[in-house]
Structure 1
């Protein structure tokens, strides 16, 4: 059973228009949609919670994060049951995603306990320095204030209510207001319930966390434009993310908007690797391309190789492997429709041939494989933009120089991959400086689907992959998005934050 309500600072609120979730089995649950008024109440509560929450010791916040993980695990069966109905994702995928969600909460707890993220610095006073004395200067990262988080459609757990944005903001000491995604409101509700239970068990201010169910665009706009919100995190479409980014920038007090907006995640197949293992790379690409019906932000939608026999063998094996993949249920009817539109548009572009065409009906999707050239990609850059779903585009170029030139034409990416052997070292060294300017993560001999939650991970990149190329939404460095440096000059020790009294 679902409540169908919003969680506002510890209270389950039944307000707003009614909407149904779109379930795979056709048996809908009913929910109240969000409104600007609900957003205002949640944000005001978050502001009231900010000072006491930010003042908690790192040990207390770490214990709170671990408690959230425990509460999510205690509701694991319920979460899987409703999430499979709402998203069409298999239970094994959701259970793995739940483990990722609880794992990153615990990782962030360990990280803040260690304390390095605070970047503490101290320049002691030099009262006798000539010609002028130096004051005592201490610096530390401090939380920015209430944070807005938008749940993502494609990761109902790891990038939604208690996902990376929420977990990192809470780790930093910032209260969070989540706009739940309308594609999985039942899943969002149970996870919100877990966070509320952790807040109660730890005796914390209830305004630390609120969740407003999805509603009209006015709900998201009200959230990022609320004067008490100090930063926002978003994973979703380029169109939606750019609209929110512009609203954040247009505020009387502009705020940072950390949006992940889209990426085609190109793979560059160098000649040495293609000469020895073209078919094996094609098989790996097919598996990565169709993982989760291609609904990963790191889906490698574009592969580029030098023309020749190896490229032909690669194309034939990729088509063969993709042809064995059965139809998969997509996350929503809207996503399935957008995939068909993008797929058909790409297939009808001049200079593009269809290697594998499959039918897609309703909410189901099957893979499509297209073949084109570097000349055609440059003639229509839209081919180098993300189509969310299992669409693969294989492009051939005349030589390595054209491959490097094509790489310079790419927009910002979350990832870029090089498949290389020892014979490709010189060519890879020529390509690498270009890719460093294009992507947040560069892989060798792998596939980008699957983002490790770790200290060294970067999940971000130049625009439009993300709106802030200096940030990541995955890994412990994600916490830094919700902090700002504060310098304390000549403050008495008793007034300094506890972590600076050393």
Structure 2
């Protein structure tokens, strides 16, 4: 049952007077539950409990933390249709997307549970004279996780940040996203139940409601908080990063932010399969109404008759795809505003827009194009348009294409579409792209992020605040730990796996 209250340790709390409701974007009407925003005192209590819990939780065996994570997955699964229906009512997304994201969330929890069953993930290392140095990874302390607007399950309450932090031995306080607070509360109830059933310390998890920024600001500034996880806008992530840097004790903020994910198409690829690429990318641009952080928002090619044909074909195929509801009216408004800001720049031209009547909060897919020279001179053309939008840049030659890539801000992904005949000439492009992105896709699409060990989901700023880490896969656990060494300790005083 959704109560609208805050989950603080093992208790429900609603001492505040500020309330808000989520919105059904398809119906454009409020959902029934009123959520009570956490008070300053409730925030302090949640952090104090997390700090107390850390003393015990960091020393709980991997087997027990593993059982906790598996129990969370089981309890979320047990929510059944209630969770799916709530998700749909708060996002406007279809049942298939809800179930798919739930499956990914359960998979992540169980993956991290399996990872920490043994202590190998801590990378225990023994060296030095007479083996007197013993090094391993230890958890940082209480972590604050901000729910993401576009992934209510996989990047929010029990998403990858929470799962990896709990796996590492860090208690977690979630600042629930106001657009899907009901979905967040249902998941929080599952985590709370799992914590009690597996006898985890009180305060190992809390979930706080907030419609504004005040709760998040207080959490990041709280001296007992030791790290932050965030997925969202550049503006929001940078604000949290700056707050954390200004503390008396600065703490890391692992923020995944904006990305336009450049796609480079070679001339030979256009000659061989332009129509196929156009259909594949029309589908990718509109997938999930373009509300993925890996949405291909920028396509680069060299001016030619084939590129012109491709641009028009991409426009037609994208515009022909049915419009769908965006996550929230605010996101839809931002999509329209930011798209217009790009389209209205000098030399930019609209290729195609989805036609026909659309319902409120539904997005019209758009394809635009611009010259390479104009793109280089105008940073406003580099901005992310969150939604089903892509800008095709017509470069004069290979040198200009490489220049454009060099001047791009950091990105999560880059994609190369090429033929075998291109291989001998691709090294400069790969090297230039490698310096600007966290992952290069070859002859594929950037949408779709596999939850596996070798996945890099991060990149140079502003794709993320620390390009040394990934937010997806088992290596995401490394964000919440630090290196620690014992020197000259008797074996009796060492952890078992360091003896």
Which interval holds the TM-score relative to the shorter structure? Answer: over 0.9
1:415 aligns with 2:448: no
CA distance in 2, matches of 1:226, 1:163: 23
> Could you tell me how far apart the structure 1 residues matched to 2:445 and 2:469 are?
22
Whether 1:7 aligns to 2:11 is no
- Out of 293-302 and 102-111, give the one that drifted further: 102-111
CA distance in 1, matches of 2:112, 2:164: 7
- How much does 1:457 deviate? 0.4
1:243 alignment partner, SS class: helix
Residue 437 of structure 2 corresponds to 439
TM-superposed deviation, 1:109: 1.4
Question: Does 2:275 match 1:279?
Answer: yes
The 8 Å contact of residues 36 and 223 in structure 1, kept in 2 or not, is answered as no
CA pair 323-216 structure 1, distance change in 2 beyond 3 A = closer
Task: Note if 1:206 corresponds to 2:202.
Answer: yes
Partner of 1:189: 185
TM-score by length of 2: 0.97
**Number of matched residues?**
493
Structure 1 residue aligned with 2:21 = 20
Residue 45 (structure 1) aligned with residue 36 (structure 2): no
Q: What is the CA–CA distance in structure 2 between the aligned matches of 1:125 and 1:426, rounded to whole Å?
A: 49
Alignment match, 1:234: 230
Q: Following TM superposition, by how much is the alpha carbon of 1:428 offset from its aligned partner in structure 2, in angstroms?
A: 1.8
Q: Aligned residue for 1:450?
A: 448
TM-aligned CA deviation for residue 411 of structure 1 = 0.5
Correspondence for 2:100 among 96, 99, 102: 96
Q: 2:160 aligns with which of 164, 185, 200?
A: 164
Secondary structure at 1:158's aligned position in 2?
A: coil
SS of alignment partner, residue 328 of structure 1: coil
- For structure 1, the 5+ residue unaligned runs are 127-134
Equivalent in 324, 329, 337 of residue 341 of structure 1 = 337
Q: Distance in 2 between matches of 1:114 and 1:374?
A: 52
Q: Per-residue displacement from partner, 1:321-371 (whole Å, max 9, x unpaired)?
A: 112122211111111111010011111000101111347764211101101
Instruction: Report what 2:91 is aligned to.
Output: 87
Pick from 284, 287, 294 the counterpart of residue 288 of structure 1. 284
Report the more deviating stretch, 56-65 or 357-366: 357-366
For the residues of structure 1 that align with 2:359 and 2:340, how far apart are their CA atoms? 14
Distance in 2, matches of 1:259 and 1:481, equals 11
Q: Deviations over 1:219-243 (max 9, x none)?
A: 1111111101111000000111100
Residues 336, 362 of structure 1: 8 Å contact kept: no
How far did residue 7 of structure 1 move?
A: 0.2
CA RMSD of aligned residues (A): 1.3
2:247 corresponds, among 232, 241, 251, to 251
Bigger shift: residues 390-399 or 253-262:
390-399
Residue of 104, 111, 118 corresponding to 2:115? 111
1:46-66 deviation per Cα after TM superposition (whole angstroms, max 9, x unaligned) = 001002111111111111111
Report the CA distance between 1:438 and its aligned residue: 0.5
The structure 2 residue matched to 1:55, chosen from 46, 59, 75, is 59
The answer to whether residue 271 in structure 2 is matched with residue 267 in structure 1 is no
Alignment pair present for 1:493 and 2:466: no
Counterpart contact for 2:321–2:354, Cα < 8 Å: no
Asked if the contact 1:374/1:397 (under 8 Å) is kept, the reply is: yes
Whole-angstrom distance in 1 between the partners of 2:219 and 2:424: 50
The secondary structure found in structure 2 opposite 1:95 is: helix
| Aligned residue number for residue 76 of structure 2 | 72
- Within the candidate set 358, 363, 369, 1:371 is matched to 369
Structure 2 contact 6–12 (Cα < 8 Å) conserved:
yes
Pick one of 379, 382, 392 that aligns with 1:381. 379
Which stretch has the larger CA shift, 29-38 or 443-452? 29-38
